[in-house]
Copies of this chain bind each other. A is one copy, B any other.
Amino acid sequence: VLTPEQIGNVRIVMVRTRNPLNVGASARAMSNFGFLNLRVVQPYDAAFREARSAVDAEPVLTAAVEFQDVAHAIADCSLIVGTTAGGARHTLEPIQRLEAGAEIIRQHLQSGGKVAMLFGSEKVGLSNDDLNHCHLLLRIPTRTEHLSMNLGQSVAISLYELVRDSADTAKAIPLGPRRATAEERDRFLALLLHALSLSNYFPRGTQHSTEQRLRRLLRHVPVTQRDLQEWLGLIRQIVWKLESSQSQTSHPHE
């Protein structure tokens, strides 16, 4: 896990971005994950600081620094990382998947180095000249049929990968297999509610809140499909009894 200081040693460098909304969206994702150092090289639209979609990203956009070329934007960094869709473009370097590349970036940051991450324009990505600056080329593992990602989403995923806590995966508490579907549970819930209604269970006006309470109650019972069938049979029997006794007592009044 990276410290805030190590995260502070990452520069996000957006090269020739066309749409200012994409700069804004990237700035918001940066702020979400604590990356506050944005550098912009030759943006097509100088109005990028006013990007509307950048909710709460004003500090990142205001502090963003503009550069005329990539060389100056990366001058203080010792690891230069290029991102690419990894499609048709020919490069001399092997392109690593984000999962592997992020590990190299983390190690570099943990040894005190500064890292520049380059993101190219929406249309053509990074140029070959841009890529020549890079020690490491990354690609997000999109499928072959649809390689090209939205720019703001690429930035968001790359930063998430850097800060994700791999140790956290082990903390997952597995749920049992062969669980009933939501529809089967709902059928059970509906039958149970019917039985409760017939039993005058509901104080006036509480039907909705009771239904929500029971839904919560049932949700975490690890009901297998077989268990559920037994429960359904059981409640059906109660409902049958309630309904027949009701019809017996109510008939005389009709």
Q: Which B residues are CB-close (under 8 A) to A113?
A: 177-179
Most chain B CB inside 10 Å of its own CB: which residue of A55, A96, A146, A170: A146
In the complex, what residues of B have CB within 8 A of residue A99's CB?
Answer: 164-166, 168-169
Known: A113-B179, A182-B74. A146 touches B216 (CB 8 A): no
Whether a CB of chain B sits under 8 angstroms from the CB of A84 is: no
Q: Which residue of B lies closest to A74 (CB)?
A: B182
Contact call A172/B104, Cβ cutoff below 8 A: yes
Q: By the criterion CB–CB under 8 Å, are B175 and A134 in contact?
A: no
Evaluate contact between B75 and A149: CB separation under 8 angstroms.
no
User: Does residue A64 face the partner (Cβ distance < 8 Å to B)?
Assistant: no
**Given the complex of chains A and B, what is the CA–CA distance between A140 and B79 in angstroms?**
27
Cβ of B142 and Cβ of A33 under 8 Å apart? Answer: yes
- Cβ of A46 under 8 Å from chain B: no
- Let me know if A90 is at the binding interface, CB within 8 A: no
Complex interface bits, A177-215 against B, C-beta within 8 A gives 1, otherwise 0? 111111100100000000000000000000000001001
**For the complex, is A233 an interface residue (Cβ under 8 Å from B)?**
no
| Copies of this chain, whole number | 2
Kindly list chain B residues whose C-beta atoms are within 8 Å of the C-beta of A28. 149-150, 153
**Which B residues touch A71, using CB under 8 A?**
182, 186
Which of A37-45, A155-163, A237-245 forms contacts with chain B?
Answer: A155-163
Is B29 a contact of A153 with CB atoms below 8 Å? Answer: yes
Given A140-B160, A143-B32, A219-B132: A150 in contact with B183 (beta carbons within 8 A): no
Bound-state CA distance A116–B156 (Å) is 23
> Is there a chain B Cβ closer than 8 Å to A97's Cβ?
yes
A-to-B contact residues, CB < 8 Å? 25, 28-29, 31-34, 53, 55-56, 71, 74-80, 92, 96-104, 107-108, 111-114, 116, 128-129, 132-136, 140-143, 146-150, 152-153, 156-157, 160-161, 163-166, 168-175, 177-183, 186, 212, 215-216, 219-220
25 residue pairs from A and B, CB less than 8 Å apart: A29-B150, A29-B153, A55-B148, A75-B186, A76-B181, A77-B181, A78-B180, A78-B182, A80-B182, A96-B171, A96-B172, A98-B164, A99-B164, A100-B169, A104-B172, A107-B172, A108-B175, A134-B219, A135-B220, A136-B175, A141-B164, A152-B152, A156-B156, A157-B160, A160-B160
- Given contacts A97-B171, A133-B182, 10 further A-B pairs with CB under 8 A are A25-B153, A71-B182, A75-B183, A79-B175, A104-B172, A104-B174, A107-B172, A129-B212, A149-B156, A161-B164
